[in-house]
A and B are shown apart, each in its own frame.
Chain A
Amino acid sequence: MSTANSTKLHVIYGDGSLGLQGTNFDYIFSYERGGLESLVQNGKEWLYRVPKPTFWRATTDNDRGNHFAERAAMWLGTDQFLPCVKVAIAVNGQPIPLPIAPENNRYSDHEFATTVTITYTYETLTVPKTLVTTAYQVAADGAIQITARITGQPDLPELPVFGVRFIMPTPATQYTYTGLSGETYPDRLAGGVPGTYTITGLPVTPYLTPQENGMHMRTQDVAITRTTVLNNADPRQDPFVLRLTALDHPFAFSCLPYTAEELENATHKEELPLPRRTVLTIAGAVRGVGGIDSWGADVTAPYHISGETDHQLSFRVESVESD
């Protein structure tokens, strides 16, 4: 199989997926799974399951106290079960019909492009429903620009968070980001000191009951380092790194060993599973945590995320050359 043309993407028009290859990268965009199924950089797989838009945060004590979790509960189901309803592909900027057999019979194993965009459309399980898209625009050098967008609808409840959640096969050994020090939220970030910070491991803030934690607001970029893979034929343990960089606006992120749902279900941290994955959430909108009290006072208005307006975030994903 040829990947000799480093200025162009090698496109594999598969029967259940679209493969994109280039120097040191292999991507598989699944039609069945509704997202990017494989993101291999330098031979290392970065994805455990397809990334999906994310809407839920593990209920904080304040969320519980002011019943936000109840008002927003339909976002929990959507976060857990989000169905993909459409896949659209554009090659070199031109939309093409979904290239599954027999449509893809006209291609060969020597197909190249300068840019390919795969757009997944999801339909929320809310009442009313709305549409959410995640577009992956892949450049010839392998850089992926991801844009996620939710369309607001009248009467949709406020969102706990809006972003994209990546689940990586093994736990990160560290991550480095440029943003604010410490754990920050929109209504608790004045004390965050701008800088570049390296966090060892995947610390979970040990709140008495597991809940939303570890958010980092106003981030320019975050680089995740892992040393292990699940590939049985790859025993090496040298570090490898994936970097995500904000486009247009800084993003917020958390990098934890658990999903919001795993945190949600635990009443103590010792009930959480052994850390096995890396759960990276890149968020474009984060609800404040509040603090006036824990039995009813709402987060103040500027820190709500309306379900009635559109929200969007954009960032680039690329590998970092190992030293």
Chain B
Amino acid sequence: MKPDIHWLDDPEVFRVNQLPAHSDHPFYGNYDELLHKKSRYIQSLDGEWAFNFAATPADRDREFYQPDFDAQQYDTIAVPGHIELNDYGQIQYINTLYPWEGKQFRRPAYSMGQDRPETGTFSDGEDNSVGMYRKTFTLNESLQNQRVIIQFLGVERAMYVWLNGHFIGYAEDSFTPSEFDLTPYLTSGENLLAVAVFKHSTASYLEDQDMFRFSGIFRSVNLIAKPELHLEDLTIRPIPDENLESGNLNLTLNLSAATAPLSGSVTVTVFDHAGHAWVHQTVEAHETVTFTDLPFDQIHLWDHHHPYLYQLQIQLLDAAGNLMEVIPYRFGFRRVEIKDHVLLLNNDRLVLNGVNRHEWNDQTGRAITLADMRADMQTFHDNHINAVRTCHYPDQIPWYDMCDDEGIYMMAETNLETHGTWQKMGAVEPSYNVPGSLPQWQAAVLDRAKSNYETFKNHTAILFWSLGNESYAGEDIQAMNTYYKTVDPDRLTHYEGVCRNRKYTATISDVESMMYAAPKDIANYLEKDPQKPFLNCEFMHDMGNSLGGLADYMNLIQAYPSYAGGFIWDFIDQALLVPDEITKQPVLRYGGDFDDRHSDYEFSGDGLLFADRTPKPAMQEVRYEYGQFD
């Protein structure tokens, strides 16, 4: 297949040759690797890559992926990282309008009519900068002579991948893993990986989140070898019985083999904290292996205060009995449901003392580290924060593990926001809204939902699938809701945007969600026979010196059983630490400080934490008020 630059313009092309999304389970070659959390099958490609920048698609090096291309003049860039924070492209912060506001006239493909595909809108875009990345690597011994895929954990916003001059594939959706099979083109010697990252594509319409607008490979890149027998996908369904004292475990494993026919064995064990094995079964390996209703005659429930997780371990042996893989996963029993319009967890009313959390570091932007995540989790603990909305995209995988471990309720949001297509200067104006009910945009948003679900489906912490943020409502988002409800009967769906288009109230979102509703308006809703529990997907806009009146929201908890709390906007200021142009001292800068226009200036400074992760004074109020209902 030949790559086509016009894929950038086509909302119906968003993944080419990409491997299907699957569960985020780790896997190890043996128990020692498991103990040290170091898998022989993974080879990190993080580090210095060769790099060149083109301001427009027309300026790009068209042959840069060829092994014989002369890249001696290329710079180096650190992966992961943002191109703009390496000073190739201009840093820009903008909230709801699109980043090309005032510079490019655009309309989304087909939004002005079925005969308006808007060809060229991005492939010829004067604002569509291109990062050309080259990386040479030699496979580690432990990856040689196996199936090898490449995994990009986060790339903004559209990328074409080549290996040794061969086109490998194309991907959008910046915040979920993108994987491609490299096996046919790998050599045992030096390999050349080339990635062209475009700042804009039709995905740009779907990623209009209120944040600094970056591009580049901003999360890790890994080579992953699949042993002879490999667990491709794992679905864990722990289901408490009605009495919440016992339960059942259901597992579905999808296996692949390097050579047909698939053979070997699968051993599944489940341990509790005391080391007691609740499950220990060995079965013959097949492409699909299921374990149905494995009984637990007594269970420990998982919740915020007692995040009890069972340890699942899966062992794959080949036909000769050689250990191929060990897969660990922790899961918990819990039941989230709505009964009589009240949100319940394990049959107790659930109140969300939550925050919205962007991934942010004041020096590296959205390329955050485990240390950042751990610090954030500590802040949650110190301040009685029990819930997080992954606004407005999937986060790095370890954050979900931490939330499982620490009992943090998650609203796992799909990477979707099309704010500028339906709201302008505060007014609702959806004349060119996407995805809306446009058929050409539906597959892309469904794929985003699928990637979110498939990747994170086994995380006990996730109670809600959120369809996205501020994208209005139509048939396409309705289809996302249907998708989540179909694949996952155990969780709730959430979407706020349906309150902007009430036609879909019955078919989108299990909860009534609003943002920034005044306490009296919420009370008004709750007084009038609410058909859904109410939650604030965003409230208490903590911009600058703010967070006055939190008590007025907390008072709703006791007054109304259908009030489920919410998520403060937001956790951490988005600002960048850069040298002051006069004093050279490090200072925090925001939108407009990089001559970036149109901008929304300091509007990104809404956190409970300053951008350097020190708490704002308002945090003591959160600690107190959330602590009343912890």
Contacts and interface: CB of A to CB of B under 8 A. Distances in A.
Contacts of B181: none
A51 interface: no
A101 interface: no
Interface stretch (A109-117, A158-166, A284-292): A284-292
Contacts of B551: 187, 190
A286 to B, nearest CB: 11
Given A205-B616, A207-B605, A268-B587, A190 B546 contact: no
A62 B620 CA distance: 19
B573 A288 contact: no
B541 A288 contact: no
Interface stretch (A75-83, A121-129, A275-283, A296-304): A296-304
Nearest to A215: B545
A61 B544 contact: yes
Interface in B358-380: none
Contacts, number: 128
A211 interface: yes
Judged by DSSP, the binding face of A is: loop
B580 A61 contact: no
Contacts of B580: 270
Contacts of A299: 548-549
A147 interface: no
Interface stretch (A90-98, A148-156, A177-185): A177-185
Interface residues of A, number: 40
A292 B548 CA distance: 8
Interface residues on B, range: 35 or more
A188 B585 contact: no
Nearest to B520: A300
Contact of A209 (B587, B602, B618): B602
Contacts of B606: 294
Contacts of B583: 270
Nearest to B615: A182
B620 A291 contact: no
A38 to B, nearest CB: 34
Contact of B541 (A184, A189, A291): A291
A270 B548 contact: no
Contact of B546 (A186, A189, A289, A300): A289
A208 B518 contact: no
B189 interface: no
A250 B551 CA distance: 22
B621 interface: yes
Contacts of B625: 190-191
A206 interface: yes
A290 B426 contact: no
B492 interface: no
A292 B549 contact: yes
B546 A288 contact: no
A189 B618 CA distance: 9
B575 A207 contact: no
A221 interface: no
Given A289-B545, A291-B549, A294-B546, A192 B585 contact: no
A187 B548 contact: yes
Contacts of B575: 208
A213 interface: yes
A270 B620 contact: no
Interface of A: 60-62, 65, 181-193, 205-209, 211-213, 268-270, 288-295, 297, 299-300, 303
Given A61-B545, A193-B620, A293-B541, 7 more contacts: A65-B543, A187-B551, A291-B549, A292-B519, A292-B541, A294-B603, A294-B606
Closest 5 CB pairs of A and B: A191-B624, A187-B548, A183-B617, A208-B605, A61-B544
26 contacts: A60-B545, A61-B602, A62-B543, A62-B548, A182-B617, A187-B549, A189-B621, A190-B551, A190-B621, A190-B625, A193-B620, A206-B588, A206-B610, A207-B605, A208-B544, A208-B573, A208-B602, A209-B602, A270-B582, A288-B549, A289-B546, A292-B519, A294-B541, A294-B546, A294-B603, A303-B548
